[in-house]
């Protein structure tokens, strides 16, 4: 079997690429290790190729064609110019914006919404948009596309590389069937922020020294207590899914605060959700009956918690709302992934994840919290922050920087065109190529990078 392009991973990155390349007449092999292409209820799995991670770091896997677009909250906006410039991307923001505009047209979204922001009384607000699609594989009708051959529940297990050109990809399924795919032009990895370094560490003999290092994320934490009477003050940064008995029309905006390279976004959220801890447990549990039980149990706990706070609010005793902070993270050599000797169901080595908030992160987060709460004191120090984060924080949903973009092979794993340093026809797309993890949710930027790569490949092939 020979295909012009072989794409591994059918999430937002892989689907945008496959769609664009196929519509320009190229044949595509789209390979995904997921076993489903129908929605299923119990779909937050712990990544099956991860052996171990800290309990506060819970990367999820949907096991569905379309990747994690099945699980996401469809919140789309482009990486801001400020983040882009601070994080030394090796091309210009103008170029990123140009492809974001083309993508907006394709997805019928007003292009200005992707970069909308506002400065008011010294405060900076960033707007985002809820896209009206969920699973991108279905939205783009990938299954019905005649130019795309789908290999569901397959993973590459070996590459044949001659003179730095990949010629063949050997793929395997769980029944141990092997297929040999010949690559006419290029092989593109779109396996997600952890999936990309995982597969590359397994398949490449010649590995870049930065591969798998600098794992960064987008830690979330709820802090502060806000009275009902104070809510109108924060109406701009209220999440639209918060149902209020106040007559407030909500926009999707976040208040952004930064100090040098560090950024945080702030939105008003419900008071700390006790089911977050259950969510961590749910993701890590394998037994189906236990998973179903936990799902129902979490549902009841959330309802009871809501009721408790509703009644409490009547007496103005309990505060129902808090601030949700989400932070950028500085890449650290201490945060990284390693290959282990345990194998996944395709015979690939699983990875261990080492990830934590570093001292520099904590120092800056406290600084940003103080800066953001001038008139609304949130007294917190590093120890309290860490305790709260380990107890109730969220991380692992936006793994980034493990195959980062750079000017040369000492500085990055892929070049400015997302081509792997040291190889002629292998590319990587996903948050793993980000040089730095900002406050902006990553998917629209990932899709923009995928479209940019597709257009470049169409030109040269
Ligand atoms: C609960 C949740 C909420 C989120 N909300 C938002 C949001 O509101 N806005 C936002 O911007 N982002 C959000 N995200 C993040 C978003 O889901 C990801 O950024 C996005 O899905 C990444 O796209 P991707 O194509 O790079 O990777 P993925 O969507 O992870 O897709 C990777 C694909 O590669 C496949 N794969 C992996 N390894 C292999 C292998 N060895 N062989 C074959 N196939 C392989 C996987 O099965 C998967 O289908 C959220 C994530 C979660 C979990």
The predicted-structure confidence for 249-294, as pLDDT tens digits, reads as follows 567 899 999 988 899 999 988 776 777 778 888 888 888 888 888 8
Q: What is the CATH number of the domain that holds 82?
A: 3.50.50.60
What's the distance, CA 328 to chain centroid?
A: 13
Q: Examine the domain organization and report whether 29 and 92 are in the same domain.
A: yes
Residue 300 to residue 40: CA distance in whole angstroms: 21
Q: Which are the contacts of 77, defined by CB distance < 8 A and separation ≥ 6?
A: 113, 114, 115, 116, 126, 127, 128, 129, 440, 441, 444
Average pLDDT over residues 170-195: 96
Q: How far is the CA of 102 from the centre of ligand 1 (A)?
A: 22
Q: Examine the domain organization and report whether 202 and 277 are in the same domain.
A: no
Task: Kindly state whether residue 340 falls inside one of the protein's structural domains.
Answer: no
Average pLDDT over residues 49-58: 94
Task: Kindly state whether residue 192 falls inside one of the protein's structural domains.
Answer: yes
Q: Is any atom of ligand 1 closer than 6 Å to the C-beta of 223?
A: no
Query: Whole domain around residue 425: which residue ranges?
Result: 2-124+132-216+396-460
Q: What is the mean pLDDT of the chain?
A: 91
Please report the pLDDT score of residue 235 as a whole number: 80
Q: What is the pTM of this model?
A: 0.95
Task: Kindly state whether residue 338 falls inside one of the protein's structural domains.
Answer: no
Q: Examine the domain organization and report whether 150 and 20 are in the same domain.
A: yes
Structure tokens at 260: 């040098």
Q: Is any atom of ligand 1 closer than 6 Å to the C-beta of 169?
A: no
Q: Which are the contacts of 195, defined by CB distance < 8 A and separation ≥ 6?
A: 9, 47, 49, 430
Average pLDDT over residues 204-214: 96
- Residue 299 in this model has a pLDDT that exceeds 80: yes
Beta strands in 260-396 (DSSP E): 262-270, 321-327, 336-343, 349-354
Domain boundary among 344, 366, 392: 392
Task: Write the Ramachandran bin of 34: left for phi over 0, alpha for psi from -120 to 50, otherwise beta.
Answer: beta
Cα dihedral across residues 386, 390, 391, 396: positive or negative: positive
The predicted-structure confidence for 213-230, as pLDDT tens digits, reads as follows 999 999 999 888 887 777
Domain boundary among 377, 392, 407: 392
Beta strands in 22-130 (DSSP E): 28-32, 45-46, 50-52, 60-61, 75-76, 117-120, 123-127, 129-130
Q: Examine the domain organization and report whether 30 and 58 are in the same domain.
A: yes
Q: Go through 151-166 and write b for each residue having 16 or more CB atoms within 10 A of its CB, e for each that does not.
A: bbbbbbbebebeeeeb
Q: Examine the domain organization and report whether 17 and 159 are in the same domain.
A: yes
The predicted-structure confidence for 351-386, as pLDDT tens digits, reads as follows 999 999 999 999 999 999 988 876 666 767 888 889
Q: Is any atom of ligand 1 closer than 6 Å to the C-beta of 396?
A: no
pLDDT band at 247 (very low <50, low <70, confident <90, very high): low
Mutation to probe ligand 1, out of 140, 189, 195, 197 (largest number of atoms < 8 A from CB): 195
Residue 461 to residue 457: CA distance in whole angstroms: 6
Please report the pLDDT score of residue 4 as a whole number: 98
Please report the pLDDT score of residue 120 as a whole number: 86
Nearest-CA residue for atom 19 of ligand 1? 443
Please report the pLDDT score of residue 270 as a whole number: 77
Please report the pLDDT score of residue 242 as a whole number: 67
Q: Is any atom of ligand 1 closer than 6 Å to the C-beta of 11?
A: yes
- Residue 190 in this model has a pLDDT that exceeds 80: yes
Please report the pLDDT score of residue 250 as a whole number: 61
Q: Examine the domain organization and report whether 90 and 235 are in the same domain.
A: no
Written as one string, the DSSP assignment of 396-420 is SSS-B-TT-B-SSTTT-SB-TTSBB
pLDDT band at 196 (very low <50, low <70, confident <90, very high): very high
Q: Which are the contacts of 134, defined by CB distance < 8 A and separation ≥ 6?
A: 69, 70, 72, 74
Please report the pLDDT score of residue 42 as a whole number: 65
Nearest-CA residue for atom 44 of ligand 1? 32
Q: Is any atom of ligand 1 closer than 6 Å to the C-beta of 265?
A: no
Question: 12-23 and 443-460 are packed helices; what angle lies between their axes, rounded to 10 degrees?
Answer: 30
Please report the pLDDT score of residue 40 as a whole number: 61
Nearest-CA residue for atom 40 of ligand 1? 155
pLDDT band at 100 (very low <50, low <70, confident <90, very high): very high
Query: Is the separation of the CB atoms in 198 and 15 below 8 Å?
Result: no
Residue 70 to residue 363: CA distance in whole angstroms: 35
Q: Examine the domain organization and report whether 374 and 412 are in the same domain.
A: no
By C-alpha distance, which of 141, 121, 110 is closest to 22?
141
Q: How far is CA 75 from CA 21, 113, 132, 134, 441, in A?
A: 25, 11, 10, 10, 7
The total of other beta-carbon atoms located within 10 Å of residue 178's CB is 11
Mutation to probe ligand 1, out of 8, 9, 135 (largest number of atoms < 8 A from CB): 9
Q: Examine the domain organization and report whether 181 and 250 are in the same domain.
A: no
Task: Kindly state whether residue 384 falls inside one of the protein's structural domains.
Answer: yes
Nearest-CA residue for atom 53 of ligand 1? 397
Percent of the chain with pLDDT over 70: 94
Residue 217 to residue 397: CA distance in whole angstroms: 7
Q: Is any atom of ligand 1 closer than 6 Å to the C-beta of 14?
A: yes
Q: Examine the domain organization and report whether 239 and 147 are in the same domain.
A: no
Nearest-CA residue for atom 6 of ligand 1? 72
Residue of 39 and 85 predicted with greater confidence: 85
Mutation to probe ligand 1, out of 67, 200, 428 (largest number of atoms < 8 A from CB): 67
| Most confident stretch, 41-55, 66-80, 227-241 | 66-80
Q: Examine the domain organization and report whether 39 and 86 are in the same domain.
A: yes
- Residue 66 in this model has a pLDDT that exceeds 80: yes
Domain boundary among 340, 369, 392: 392
Q: Examine the domain organization and report whether 307 and 364 are in the same domain.
A: yes
Q: Examine the domain organization and report whether 212 and 255 are in the same domain.
A: no
Residue 242 to residue 186: CA distance in whole angstroms: 45
Number of domains in the chain: 2
Nearest-CA residue for atom 2 of ligand 1? 72
Lowest mean pLDDT among 126-135, 162-171, 345-354: 126-135
- Residue 170 in this model has a pLDDT that exceeds 80: yes
Please report the pLDDT score of residue 318 as a whole number: 64
Please report the pLDDT score of residue 313 as a whole number: 67
Q: Is any atom of ligand 1 closer than 6 Å to the C-beta of 199?
A: yes
Task: Kindly state whether residue 425 falls inside one of the protein's structural domains.
Answer: yes
Q: Which are the contacts of 58, defined by CB distance < 8 A and separation ≥ 6?
A: 46, 279, 280, 283, 284, 394, 395, 396
Cα dihedral across residues 2, 28, 423, 47: positive or negative: negative
Task: Kindly state whether residue 348 falls inside one of the protein's structural domains.
Answer: no
Q: What is the dihedral of CA 59, 62, 66, 71, to 10 degrees?
A: -80
């Amino acid at each position: 079997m020979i295909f012009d392009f072989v794409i591994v991973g059918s999430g937002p990155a892989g689907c945008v690429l496959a769609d664009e390349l196929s519509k320009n007449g190229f044949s595509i092999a789209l390979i995904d290790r997921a076993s489903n292409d129908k929605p299923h209820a119990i779909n937050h799995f712990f990544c099956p190729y991860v052996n171990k991670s800290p309990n506060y770091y819970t990367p999820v896997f949907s096991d569905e064609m379309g990747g994690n677009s099945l699980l996401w909250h469809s919140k789309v906006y482009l990486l801001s110019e400020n983040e882009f410039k601070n994080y030394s991307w090796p091309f210009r923001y103008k170029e990123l914006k140009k492809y974001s505009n083309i993508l907006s047209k394709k997805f019928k979204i007003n292009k200005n919404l992707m970069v909308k922001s506002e400065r008011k009384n010294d405060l900076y607000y960033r707007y985002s948009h809820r896209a009206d699609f969920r699973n991108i594989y279905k939205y783009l009708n990938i299954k019905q596309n005649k130019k795309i051959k789908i290999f569901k529940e397959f993973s590459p297990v070996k590459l044949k590389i001659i003179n730095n050109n990949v010629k063949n990809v050997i793929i395997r399924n769980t029944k141990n069937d092997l297929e040999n795919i010949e690559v006419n032009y290029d092989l593109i990895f779109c396996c997600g922020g952890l999936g990309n370094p995982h597969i590359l560490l397994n398949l490449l003999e010649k590995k870049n020294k930065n591969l798998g290092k600098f794992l960064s994320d987008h830690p979330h934490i709820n802090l502060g207590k806000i009275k009902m009477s104070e809510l109108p003050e924060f109406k701009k940064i209220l999440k639209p899914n918060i149902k209020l008995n106040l007559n407030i029309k909500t926009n999707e905006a976040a208040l952004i605060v930064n100090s040098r390279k560090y950024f945080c976004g702030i939105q008003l959220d419900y008071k700390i959700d006790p089911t977050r801890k259950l969510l961590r447990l749910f993701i890590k549990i394998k037994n189906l009956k236990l998973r179903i039980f936990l799902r129902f149990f979490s549902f009841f706990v959330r309802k009871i918690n809501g009721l408790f706070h509703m009644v409490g609010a009547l007496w103005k005793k309990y505060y129902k709302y808090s601030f949700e902070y989400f932070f950028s993270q500085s890449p650290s050599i201490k945060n990284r992934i390693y290959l282990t000797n345990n194998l996944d169901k395709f015979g690939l080595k699983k990875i261990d994840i080492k990830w934590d908030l570093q001292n520099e992160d904590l120092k800056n987060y406290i600084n940003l919290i103080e800066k953001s709460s001038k008139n609304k004191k949130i007294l917190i120090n590093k120890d309290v922050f860490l305790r709260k984060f380990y107890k109730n924080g969220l991380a692992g949903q936006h793994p980034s920087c493990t195959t980062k973009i750079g000017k040369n092979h000492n500085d990055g794993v892929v070049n400015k065109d997302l081509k792997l340093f040291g190889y002629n026809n292998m590319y990587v797309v996903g948050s793993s190529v980000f040089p730095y993890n900002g406050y902006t949710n990553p998917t629209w930027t990932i899709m923009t990078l995928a479209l940019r790569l597709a257009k470049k490949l169409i030109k040269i092939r």
